[in-house]
Structure 1
């Protein structure tokens, strides 16, 4: 960090109420369970392609209304692996078209 001002600016930028405020009566667990199944499937595909979970992983989450959301989190090496996979997939797709 460069100073306390930078820390405060970064912290307040992350305080999006739609990301952390829970509304009464919303079934967040159901949305999370649906997202979890998808995240597990995606993590399986990434592993099958040789991407280590410590480099890039899918995580279950929900939006403010309880809808399922899958987030990808990773280190630069993991994102580069995903980029390589997407370039290969795009190439195969163009050839089959």
Structure 2
């Protein structure tokens, strides 16, 4: 799995030339936060048993400066995530 926090992932660098800049918007803070969450999400998917081979998670900054993750999954992995989400939702409804 490609993660923006990994050294070998080419998208790990913040590319200031890849976006329009608005004066006064702190893009770096959002991007840094998103970079930290990339690791959390990747670890959670792995811990849940999702086959993350071929998955890509990239940290970016939105136009308002907030952090955003872009997640790209192979179809089989997306089905696993959907199944896990449905199972978790079902448990939460029963518990509530």
Tell me the TM-score normalised to structure 2 length: 0.68
Task: Tell me which residue corresponds to 2:19.
Answer: 21
RMSD over equivalenced CA pairs, Å: 1.9
Gaps of 5+ in 1: 1-19
Q: Helix, strand or coil: the match of 2:58? A: strand
Task: Tell me which residue corresponds to 1:71.
Answer: 70
Once superposed, which parts of structure 1, at least 4 consecutive aligned residues long, lie more than 4 Å away?
none
Q: Helix, strand or coil: the match of 2:57? A: strand
| Counterpart Cα distance in 2 of 1:42 and 1:28 | 21
Higher helix share: 1
Q: How many residues are aligned here?
A: 78
Structure with the bigger RCO (C-alpha within 8 Å, sep 6+) is: 2
Q: Is the 8 A contact 1:43 1:57 kept in 2?
A: no
